[in-house]
Each structure stands twice: as structure tokens, then as C-alpha cells.
A = this chain, B = another copy of it.
Amino acid sequence: MSEDLGITTSKKENIGEWYREVVTKSGLADYTSVSGCFVLKPLSYSIWTTVRRGLDKLFKDIGVENAYFPLFIPDKLLEKEAEHFEGFNPEVAWVTRAGNSELDEKLAVRPTSEAIMYDSYKDWIRSHRDLPLKINQWNNVVRWEFKHATPFLRTREFLWQEGHSAYASKEEALKDKKSVLDAYQEICEDRMALPCVRGTKTQKEKFDGAVNSYSLEHLLPDGQAIQGPSFHYDGENFAEAFGITFTDEDGEEKNVHQNTFGFSTRQIGIMIMMHSDDCGLVIPPRLAPTKAVVVPIYNNEEERKSVLGMAEEVNEKVEDCRIDNRDHKTPGWKFNEWEVKGVPLRIEIGSNEVEDGEVTLVRRDTGKKTSVKVEGIEKKVKEELEEMQKRLYRRAEEFMEENTRETEDYEELKRIIKEKGGFVKAPWCGKQVCEDIVKDDTKAKITNIPFKYDKPEDKKCVRCDERANHWVHFAKSR
């Protein structure tokens, strides 16, 4: 296999360069003439489509409906939500001309759609009978980051879903928090094989404009944390800014309570980084568009015929399978290519295999070889794929567990962050000043306050001497 096609950098030695190679050589994505913007090639777009269908199904059960709002947001609407928008302002791409004319008012290319959606919500919502209103968009957004771009993980344009819902009360709004976070967790864990830590963001780290933010946090192989999908309870903040009110059953005019929630193509980057290896891409089988590839091996025309005959038979039995019958490539070359491209199972068929009525299954993740009868192969393939799916998740979970270290001692916290990375579970008083000092000392932030930990009993804050109110995770984050 030529160097052009194989992965030449090791994940351990240079994860950034390794990632770039895996993404481009596997055919997931490609660079373009627009700096910071990438092509999602059919392989990654197909993964995204499967994720989208999965989430849509779960959203439907929550009563969320899809719609589409304009790409452009007039400047004057953005001013209404100045506080929320301030964070986005430096990253907004502005349309100022159309054809040969200057526009009277410049238009933002949406970095997120609160402003344009809530401008409609204020007209659509009149009475308590119009609530709840739960609308989601699958769209493209633009955030003109000036930092170095990385496919999927940090791009100037990306695809996502943004859910925006409105309710008559805080209680109703918060009821959907669990449903949406459950949906996100199901997609992350069951499809993408990504374990995650659910929790509350601190006030310092929350989304501008939210009352409280909640996130799924992941740990990358280099020990850095990265935020996955998130959910925000916005209280009456946007209702105030946009005038979204309703008349309740007693005829009283009230503000709506709102949630926003999003899941983006960044998640594909996290998945690639977590599971792939020095041979190339590894895709969790439930998201792989091609689940198995048959590579026929023969030395002459007679063998070719019988081998291809069996290949066809296997191909018909196995779902989402394909045969690589290219004559101008050797089997070894094909093995490598499909490894780079991350097809979960390789099925080798040579003339020996034809004689025995058996084929060889090779797992992408472990390289494990199994001889399997053609009779009933479809069942065996399904089992291997399920086992691979579970193993990828288990391995990632073990990695996260091994890299979550608990301490109550500030010097140790600093040492772990510096030398080992990962999550550091530590008690925290809840004051931003301590959070700020830790960040200043270590560059680590509080990723979230995990739901899974009980309130600390009789612990002191890892940074100050005051009583701790939360167990939190500190980590350096991407």
C-alpha cells in the first residue's frame, strides 16, 4: 500500500496530525478552497443521516416537530438579544451586498437561530392553548472562528439540529430536560459508542442567555475533555427580549419559559477520534453504511469463477455488504484500503474457503479472524457486529473510568491535570472565584457538575477552605 493511502502518523505520537490523516484518507471529509470549511463526503454524510433519523424518532416521542427558518437574521433582531448574542458577535459572517447593491441593513448568517425563531414565536403564541410549542431545525450554521480549524471538531460552517421550545411554566419546561438528554445519551452511547458524563454546567460555563445549561461531556484519547450535545433552560430571558407572552387560563398575560438544545456534526469528530487507530478509521457498526466487504482471493480464472460465485452468495445473505472485485488491486492492497475506510468486517474468500464451504471473518477493531460456514453466515456477521459495537463502547468507558481521578488536595489536582489529564473529580464550594483560580493555575475548567455524584458530605472545596457543595469534574477542554 502506498504511503498516499495508508495512515503514516501514530495516534499516540501526534494525535492532531493522525486525526487529519484518518479523516481525509478514509474519505470522510475533505478540505476546500474556503478556509475553515470542509466537504462532508458520502461516508460521513451517511453517518450524519443515520444519527439524524435516530434523533428525529426520539424527538417525535417528545412532541418535537421539524421546521425551517431563514438563514439570514437582520441586524435589528440581534440587538434584541444583545446579552445572548454578545458571545457570537466576533464570529458572525455578515452579508452586506446582494448583486451589485449594498443592502440597507446587513444580515447575519445564522450562528444560531434564537433571534429569527423567537421573532416568529412572539406572533404564533397568544394563548396557553398554543403551548407547548416544540420546534426543531436541522440546518447549517456559521461561526467564523479565527482559530485553527479541524474537520468536524472546529469548523466555520457546521450542520446541527437546534431545538427551541416554549412552555407555560418552568416545571413543564424542565420536564423535557430529561427526555432530551436521554435522547442525546441514547444516540451517543448506543449508536456512536461514546460514553458520556451528564451534568449541569456552572454559571461561568453556561450558554449566554440560559438560566442553566446541561451537557454531555466526553473524554478524548489525549486526555482532554470535549463538550458533546447540550440543553439549556432559558427561563423567561428570551421571552423578555422578544416579548413572547401568552394569556393563561385565568386571562393573565405571562412570559413563556423556554428550552434550547443542540447536537452537531462535531459529535462525528469525537467518535472518530475515540475509536479509530493507526490503521485508519473505526466506525461503530450501527453507524457504518457498509458493514462488511467481501475480498475474493484467487490465482487463476478457474479459482476466480468459484470464488466470485461464493462471494455473490455471501453478499446476498449479509446486509449492507459489498464485494470488492477490482481486478487491478491485490487482496493485500484491498485489506489495507478497507481498514483505512473503517468497514467493520472483512470477509476473505479464497479457493480453500470455497472447498470447505467456509469463509474467514476479520474484525476491523481487533483483527480477530474467525472461520465461518457460509450457511447461516448472516447470523454470525450480526453477532460479530454487535460484539464489536459493545466492545468499542466498553473500551471507551474503561478509558474514561481510568482517566477519572478523585482528589481533595489542590496540589494533587494541579499535578494530575499537568501530568495525566483526564477528568479530576474534586469537591467545590460553588463560588466562581475558586473556579477562576483553578483555571488560571491549571488551564482546566469545570466541565460540568455530574448528576451521578451525590452532594459531598463534610468535604472542603479543593481550592479554598469552605464547605464543598458539589463534586465536579475539572479538565482541560478542547
Contacts and interface: CB of A to CB of B under 8 A. Distances in A.
A465 B447 CA distance: 81
A89 B94 contact: no
A74 B70 CA distance: 22
Contact of A39 (B30, B67, B93, B129): B67
B39 A120 contact: yes
Interface in A90-118: 90-100, 106-107, 109, 116
A451 interface: no
A45 B116 CA distance: 17
Interface stretch (A6-14, A134-142, A166-174, A389-397): A134-142
Interface string A128-158: 0100000100011010101000000000010
Contact of A92 (B66, B98, B140, B159): B98
A32 B72 CA distance: 10
Contact of A99 (B41, B65, B144, B157): B144
A71 B142 CA distance: 9
Given A96-B96, A116-B34, A68 B91 contact: no
A74 B34 contact: yes
B37 A49 contact: no
A74 B35 CA distance: 10
A19 interface: no
Contacts of A96: 94-97
A359 interface: no
Nearest to A98: B144
A68 B93 contact: no
Contact of A139 (B34, B72, B140): B140
A73 interface: yes
Contact of A33 (B91, B116, B140, B142): B116
Contacts of A34: 70, 72-74, 107, 116
A327 to B, nearest CB: 11
B67 A140 contact: no
Interface string A336-353: 000000000000000000
Contacts of A32: 69-70, 116, 119-120
A225 interface: no
Contact of A93 (B48, B95, B123): B95
Given A40-B68, A65-B42, A99 B90 contact: yes
Given A42-B65, A140-B140, A157 B70 contact: yes
A315 interface: no
Nearest to A109: B95
B45 A66 contact: yes
Contacts of A92: 98-99
The 6 closest A-B pairs by CB, nearest first: A98-B144, A37-B70, A42-B65, A40-B68, A90-B99, A94-B97
Interface of A: 30, 32-34, 37-42, 45-46, 48-49, 65-74, 76-77, 89-100, 106-107, 109, 116, 119-120, 123-124, 129, 135, 139-140, 142, 144, 146, 157, 159, 326, 328
